[in-house]
Structure formats: structure tokens, C-alpha cells
Amino acid sequence: MNIEKIIHKGKTVLKKVKDNGEMSYSAKSIYLGLDVKTGKPVKTTVTAKTLRSLDRKIIQAKIDFEESGSTRKETFSIATLSDLAELWFSNYETWVSSDNTLNRVRNYLDTYILPQFGQYQPDKVTSSDIQNWVNELATKSKESVDSGIKRAEKGCAKDFGAIAHKLSDIFDFGITHFELKHNPAQSIKIPPKPKSNQKRIMVLHDEDLTIWLNFVDTLPNTRANRRFKVICDSLLASGMRINELLALTIYDLDFESSEILVTKTLVWKNAKPKLGLKGKVVCKNTPKSDSGNRKIAVPYQIIEQLQNFHDEMNLYFKKNGLSKSKLIFPTIYGNYMCDRNERATLKRRLQEVGLPDYGFHLFRHTHASMMLNAGMNWKELQVRMGHKSIKTTMDIYAELAPKNQTQAVDIYLNKIAELTS
């Protein structure tokens, strides 16, 4: 390559000629202007195939610099509330460590805020717009609660107040970072949260529990059904949360004391399409709260059921040339299992026997009911269930005495024996 310095319009330009005869012209240190954020001069290099093209590119570079706000620092264009909300959420992800919280707030955006206001210009949203919207959400929520439906349909959630507060946070973010003039969500009134007039029974009482236990025992002997039965039996015997159970490894089983060690839980991590990341199940090394770290005494046959299913899955892996898994409930690929499919199975089977669909928490509440009816006190139950406070189980925090851990097993076995004899 031959490089020659030439003078073009009073400036030095490098003329480059390749061996194949192809030519190009480069002008270095072209002054574009002062960066409005740093106050420093901004210069660039422009290259073109002809001198005339070089002149046009230099002019265009200066125009582009001005149109970008006269800065080389990162800038963001906020045309719609959707733009503002996405930038707010990208910052929110760095402030919050809980995947469950992030999933919930992401759902607020995707289900409520963005469908309603996403295409609005942020400074055109009025307090009246937001108030009417929140009133409508409150009305839908009340209708849903009054209907007696346990799980609200999409768009009818009871936490409309939290949704409105997140919208307010988005506007505050716009005021701080993008010179919005005011927050229209700040002055609205949140309607009272609707309360159900009827008690929702979320417990399998003796008659229903007998129906369920007999039904599960008659399921065809397939691996999927064996897994389903182990899951249901374990939840009923321990009062664990479903994602605490699915996070268990074989090392969480204490065969000597017949206890399950709960130290982790599974959560769903939402997809990030813009980054090319798919949604996936991840394991957190701490359960829902610090009090969720606990040992739960269970009947020894539950420990055996868990071990047997773990062994069954590892036998499957060995036959298929796959690595062993320490998980008790792995997928056929050895990964953490999402509870979604099992929830769908549970819903279908509860319907088959005419029982209400309250999800896997049905077994947790049934277990708590068994313990209370048999005389376990609130302190002991709080610890066994892993509640942070006894606003769920009477707001007292205490350790469960070892003798009563054993008593819990006896209570459970006596009840099951009574119902199945």
C-alpha cells in the first residue's frame, strides 16, 4: 500500500492506494464541536473513496453530532411511556435482588401499565387518566373477589394499589433523569382493597382428604404418576412450599433423624428478549425468608419415597448415558424442574374427584390444619411452616422443640391411618 499526504482545502489528508489500485482518503482530527456534557472538544476521523465524498461525510458527521445532542456520551430518547418504563425497569433490576419481586413488577408493566399507557407521551398522561384507570382496576378486582374465585383472572388483581405506586415511581424516575415537569400519579386516590365476604376453604377436611388419598393410590404406575404422588405426599407430610420441595437434593435428607433440611427454593427468572436470554428456573440458596431455613421432621416412609424417586431418576440417567443428578426431582435432562406442569396436573386431578383447585398450597394448609387440630401450638407451627411472622401463624417466632418435631410426625401418621383404615 502507498500512503501519501496531500493538502485538500487547507487540511492534510492521507491518500491511500492499495496494490490493486483502490484509493481512499482519510482526514484526521476533524473538529465536530464541544461536548455539552464534558465541555471537551470532540474530534473524529473521516474516510471516503473520493475527495468530494470526503467533504460530504465531514459535513454529515457534524450534523449527526449536533442531532445527537452534541455529546458522545450515552443518551436516551424517551418518546413514549413505554420507553420510560423500560429504562426505569432496567435500573430497578439493579436495585432489587429478589427474582420473585422482579417477576411481579415485570407483570405489573406487561399486564397493566404498558397496555394502558405504553403509547402515551409521558408528559401527556393526566391525573384524571390514571385515576379513572385505577378506579376501573378496583372495580374489576371487587367483582372478582365477590365472585369467590380464588385466583383472579388476568387484569383483575387485588394489588392495583401497588401497580399505581409503581407507575408513580416511573414518573418520578422521569422527573429525575429526563426533566419531566410533574408526576400525575402522585395526586390520585387509591380505592380500598376489596375484602371477601365469604371464607374461602383452602383445606382438605377429613372427607375430602380421604377421597384424595384413595384417588392418588389408584393412579396408573407410571414414572410421572410416581413423581406426582411423591410430591403430594411429601407436601402433605411436611407443609413445605412446592418450590422448596423441588429444590431438594439427596443431601437435604437426614436419614438418621428423619428430617428434611430446607435451605433453598426455586424461582422463575423472566426472559430478556432484547438480550437474547430465555426464561429459566433458578435456585436461590435462601428460601422465601430467613425463617424459611429449617429442619422438618417427617415420617420415615416420606424420606424413603424421596430417596427411591431420586434413585429411579439416576437409573434413568445411567441407561441414557447422562450424568447423575443430586436433585430429587430433576427433569429428564437433569435440570431444575419447573412447577408449572405439575400444577396443571394437580388442577386436572382435583377436578376429576370434584375437589377445589387451590394449587399445591392446599396441602400446606391442610398440614397446618392437622397440626393445630391435634394440639400443636402457634409457636411450633410457625417454625415448622417457615413463616417470617405469625401474621400468618400468630406472629410469634420461636424454635420448635425436638420432642415436638417427633410429635408432629405422630400427629400426621395418626391422622392418615385414621382416614385410610
pLDDT at site 98: 78
Considering the domain architecture, whether residues 130 and 275 belong to the same structural domain is answered as no
Farthest CA pair distance, the chain:
104
Structural domain harbouring 61: 2-67
pLDDT at site 115: 94
Look at residue 187 and tell me if it is in a domain: no
Look at residue 326 and tell me if it is in a domain: yes
Domain end position, chosen among 45, 67, 89: 67
| Grid coordinates of 162 | 401497588
In angstroms, the Cα distances linking 263 to 225, 245, 281, 395 are 27, 10, 17, 22
Q: How far apart are CA 248 and CA 336, in angstroms?
A: 10
Considering the domain architecture, whether residues 249 and 379 belong to the same structural domain is answered as yes
Report the chain (421 residues): mean pLDDT per 10 consecutive residues: 85 85 87 80 87 90 80 65 92 84 90 94 94 92 72 66 94 88 93 69 81 93 95 94 94 95 87 73 71 86 96 94 94 90 91 87 84 75 73 39 58 81 71
pLDDT at site 406: 61
Q: How far apart are CA 379 and CA 56, in angstroms?
A: 79
Considering the domain architecture, whether residues 51 and 174 belong to the same structural domain is answered as no
pLDDT at site 291: 61
Q: How far apart are CA 235 and CA 420, in angstroms?
A: 18
Q: Where are the beta strands (DSSP E) in 286-329?
A: 294-297
> What domain count does the chain have?
3
Considering the domain architecture, whether residues 283 and 416 belong to the same structural domain is answered as yes
Domain end position, chosen among 67, 93, 112: 67
Cβ pair 180, 122 in contact under 8 A:
yes
Look at residue 184 and tell me if it is in a domain: no
**pTM for the predicted model, two decimal places:** 0.61
Look at residue 324 and tell me if it is in a domain: yes
Look at residue 196 and tell me if it is in a domain: no
Considering the domain architecture, whether residues 87 and 53 belong to the same structural domain is answered as no
Considering the domain architecture, whether residues 405 and 281 belong to the same structural domain is answered as yes
Considering the domain architecture, whether residues 170 and 282 belong to the same structural domain is answered as no
CATH of the domain at 262: 1.10.443.10
Q: How far apart are CA 204 and CA 211, in angstroms?
A: 10
In angstroms, the Cα distances linking 416 to 18, 211, 295, 297, 385 are 88, 12, 22, 16, 19
Number of H helices, E strands in the chain: 15, 9
Domain end position, chosen among 35, 67, 99: 67
Considering the domain architecture, whether residues 112 and 59 belong to the same structural domain is answered as no
Look at residue 183 and tell me if it is in a domain: no
Considering the domain architecture, whether residues 222 and 308 belong to the same structural domain is answered as yes
| Grid coordinates of 56 | 460530504
Look at residue 386 and tell me if it is in a domain: yes
pLDDT at site 288: 55
Considering the domain architecture, whether residues 260 and 308 belong to the same structural domain is answered as yes
Phi, psi of 40 (to 5 degrees): -95, 150
Look at residue 405 and tell me if it is in a domain: yes
DSSP string covering 318-353, please? HHTT----SBSSB-TTSSBPPTHHHHHHHHHHHHHT
Considering the domain architecture, whether residues 139 and 260 belong to the same structural domain is answered as no
pLDDT at site 325: 94
Considering the domain architecture, whether residues 245 and 124 belong to the same structural domain is answered as no
